[in-house]
């Protein structure tokens, strides 16, 4: 195998940043999944070279679990297919134009790719063509970040021609070679850097970040599905606060709704951070649930537009939740998120600032507003808890309030108390059997009955609810009769006034 220091002019021209101390593979032992070990052995028994590459090697060195192993080889894909079909394995031509064949080993799919170099990129995402190369070092040179240029073989150890191990140790995300070129080739790499910062807690090297900034406009050419995937992985990362704060100028290209939040001071004793940093802390301090973290990201985006400062200089944000809902709707409308999921996120944003007392009545009313969705109520508690944890210390009691709300919810569920129409002891058929005509009146009776049960004015029992329905209907009819009488009286008075006015008016002049 050709040594990295003897690669040739083509790699030197690409300006790849090699590790000056690199002298060959390092003796490191990594536990490989059986299918990967089998693939390496099968290819090498057939006379080819093969390495494990990609995120598996990076994560193994970081002590992170990663079951997704990729294999790179000098064998053409046709030879890879021949080797594994001879071994009794199924193969799928999933990406042979780029040298990739999927091999199924013991029911596990494994991607095996021929060493290659990527040609020009026309769409800021995919190379128009690839050329197959002779060495693993040439193959590794086309990758995005140095930490992803590592290769591993159980007998030869770690191959690290571009300083990936040093950058892992320094917790640094560094583009391979010229950052501007790497990101102009594939703009999705910009969001991958942001996502890795969130997942790994790494910092982005300055020249790499400058390359991201220079090419962030290209993100608008990337599919919504890809952008959404990277953003959601970022939001679920263990270091999401630092990633959001450190890369917001880049993320602004796909999340412009957050731009106004950066540096926007809240000027209130209840907050110690500007709107963006408060938001980043809320995301960080909520459970890693896509539903809750998307809601946390957008919950206060309406604050800059709603800001009002009173005479003593204190800031207020009346109605900011409503504005936040519309901003979140616009942002998520550009992403590949299902309408049902977006609706649930918007509901959390809408109600995140509502005051809910930790009483059964108040909690049941909140549940009713949420359509009886218990998990959505728990998500709202998670959001409220994270919101409180990102406010001033004086708001610490709001964390306990969120805990109390869930305790009350547990009691309601344990007692099987009614908080939706489905849980009432009567339904529409019962109401119609009691004499109510089919139509809107049936729903009105049931809604009134649910209100009465939640308020504990009526027990959730069939007989009691039917009696309540009859009384309620009588009251409604009486009220309607009163309105009709008032309307008739008003009509007579108006007619009398018109007659009186006509009598007092001077006669109209005769036409000439």
Q: Which residues pair with 153 in a beta bridge?
A: 157
Tokens coding 234: 């970022």
Confidence of residue 488 (pLDDT cuts 50, 70, 90): low
Dist. CA 143–CA 384, nearest whole Å:
41
Question: How many domains is the chain partitioned into structurally?
Answer: 3
Residues in the chain: 512
- Per-residue confidence band for 1, with pLDDT thresholds at 50, 70 and 90: very low
Q: Residue 401: inside a domain, yes or no?
A: no
Question: Are 117 and 245 found together in one domain?
Answer: no
Given 119, 154, 170, the domain boundary residue is 170
The DSSP call for residue 118 is E
One domain for residues 190 and 134? no
Where a domain ends, among 254, 289, 315?
254
Give 338-388 pLDDT, tens digit per residue: 999 999 999 999 999 999 999 999 999 999 999 999 999 999 999 999 999
13-22 confidence digits (pLDDT tens): 333 444 433 4
**Last-in-domain residue among 254, 272, 294:** 254
Instruction: Say how far apart CA 317 and CA 294 lie, in whole Å.
Output: 21
Q: How many CB atoms lie within 10 A of CB 412?
A: 18
Domain at 129, CATH number: 3.30.460.10
Predicted pLDDT at 502: 47
* Cα torsion through 27, 32, 38, 39, rounded to 10: -80
Q: What percent of the chain has pLDDT over 70?
A: 86
| 30-53 burial: b if 16+ Cβ within 10 Å, else e | bebbebbebbbebbeebebbbbbb
> In Å, how far from its chain's centre is CA 211?
25
User: Sorting pLDDT into bands at 50, 70 and 90, what band is 476?
Assistant: confident
The answer to whether 420 and 367 are in contact (CB under 8 A) is yes
Whether residue 247 is contained in a domain is answered as: yes
Are 31 and 132 found together in one domain? yes
| Residue 29 falls inside a structural domain | yes
Say if 428 falls within a structural domain: yes
Shared domain for 185 and 159, answered yes or no, is no
453 by DSSP, 3-state: which? Answer: helix
Residues 153 and 4 in one domain: yes
Question: How confident is residue 479, by pLDDT bands cut at 50, 70 and 90?
Answer: low
For residues 118 and 243, membership in a common domain is answered with: no
What are residue 112's phi and psi, to 5 degrees? -120, 125
Structure confidence at residue 512 (pLDDT): 37
Domain membership flag for residue 373:
no
Same domain, 123 and 57: yes
163 with 62, same domain?
A: yes
18 and 154: one domain? yes
Q: What's the pTM?
A: 0.86
Clarify whether residues 6 and 71 are in a common domain: yes
72 with 97, same domain? yes
DSSP 201-231: -PEEPHHHHHHHHHHGGGGGGS-HHHHHHHH
Lowest mean pLDDT among 125-134, 176-185, 293-302: 125-134
φ/ψ bin of 84: left (φ > 0), alpha (ψ from -120 to 50), beta (otherwise): alpha
Taking the C-alpha atoms of residue 275 and residue 303, their distance in angstroms, rounded to an integer, is 8
Do 129 and 211 lie in one domain? The reply is: no
Q: What is the CATH number of the domain that holds 197?
A: 1.10.110.30
Q: Identify whether 154 is part of a domain.
A: yes
Boundaries of domain holding 71: 1-170
Give a yes or no: residue 206 inside a domain.
Answer: yes
pLDDT tens, position by position, 162-218: 999 999 999 999 999 999 999 999 999 999 999 999 999 999 999 999 999 999 999
> Residue written as tokens 């990739």?
100
């Amino acid at each position: 195998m050709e040594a990295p220091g003897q690669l040739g002019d083509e790699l030197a021209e690409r300006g790849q940043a090699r590790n000056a101390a690199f002298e060959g593979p390092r003796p490191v032992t990594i536990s490989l999944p059986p299918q990967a070990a089998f693939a390496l052995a099968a290819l090498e028994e057939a006379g080819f070279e093969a390495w494990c590459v990609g995120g598996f090697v990076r994560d193994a060195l970081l002590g992170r679990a990663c079951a997704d192993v990729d294999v790179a080889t000098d064998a053409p894909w046709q030879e890879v297919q021949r080797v594994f079909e001879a071994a009794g394995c199924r193969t799928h031509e999933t990406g042979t134009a780029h040298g990739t064949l999927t091999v199924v080993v013991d029911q596990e799919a494994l991607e095996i790719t021929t060493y290659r170099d990527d040609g020009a990129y026309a769409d800021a995402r995919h190379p128009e063509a690839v050329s197959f190369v002779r060495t693993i070092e040439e193959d590794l040179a086309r990758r995005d970040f140095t930490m992803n240029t590592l290769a591993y073989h159980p007998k030869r150890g770690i191959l690290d021609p571009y300083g990936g191990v040093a950058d892992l140790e320094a917790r640094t995300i560094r583009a391979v070679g010229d950052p501007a070129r790497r990101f102009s080739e594939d703009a999705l790499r910009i969001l991958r850097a942001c996502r890795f910062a969130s997942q790994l807690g790494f910092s982005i090297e300055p020249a790499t970040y400058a390359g991201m900034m220079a090419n962030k406009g290209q993100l608008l050419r990337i599919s919504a599905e890809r952008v959404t995937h990277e953003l959601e992985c970022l939001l679920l990362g263990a270091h999401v606060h630092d990633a959001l704060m450190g890369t917001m100028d880049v993320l602004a290209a796909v999340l412009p709704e957050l731009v106004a939040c950066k540096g926007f001071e809240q000027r209130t004793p209840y907050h110690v951070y500007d709107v963006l940093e408060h938001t980043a802390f809320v995301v960080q301090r909520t459970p890693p649930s896509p539903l809750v973290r998307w809601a946390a990201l957008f919950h206060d985006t309406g604050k800059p537009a709603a800001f009002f400062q009173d005479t003593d200089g204190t800031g207020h944000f009346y109605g900011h939740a409503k504005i936040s809902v519309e901003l979140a709707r616009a942002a998520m409308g550009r992403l590949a998120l299902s309408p049902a999921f977006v609706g649930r996120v918007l509901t959390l944003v809408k109600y995140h600032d509502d005051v809910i007392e930790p009483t059964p009545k108040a909690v049941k009313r909140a549940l009713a507003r949420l359509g009886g969705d218990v998990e959505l109520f728990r998500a709202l508690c998670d959001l409220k808890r994270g919101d409180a944890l990102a406010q001033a210390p004086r708001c610490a009691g709001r964390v306990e309030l969120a805990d109390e709300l869930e305790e009350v919810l547990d009691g309601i569920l344990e007692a099987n108390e009614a908080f939706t129409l489905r849980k009432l002891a009567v339904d529409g058929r019962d109401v119609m059997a009691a004499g109510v005509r089919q139509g809107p009146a049936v729903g009105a009776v049931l809604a009134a009955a649910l209100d009465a049960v939640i308020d504990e004015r009526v027990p959730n029992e069939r007989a009691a609810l039917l009696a309540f329905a009859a009384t309620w209907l009588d009251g409604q009819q009486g009220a309607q009769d009163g309105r009709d009488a008032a309307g008739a009286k008003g009509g007579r008075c108006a007619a009398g006034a018109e007659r009186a006015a006509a009598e007092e008016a001077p006669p109209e002049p005769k036409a000439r």
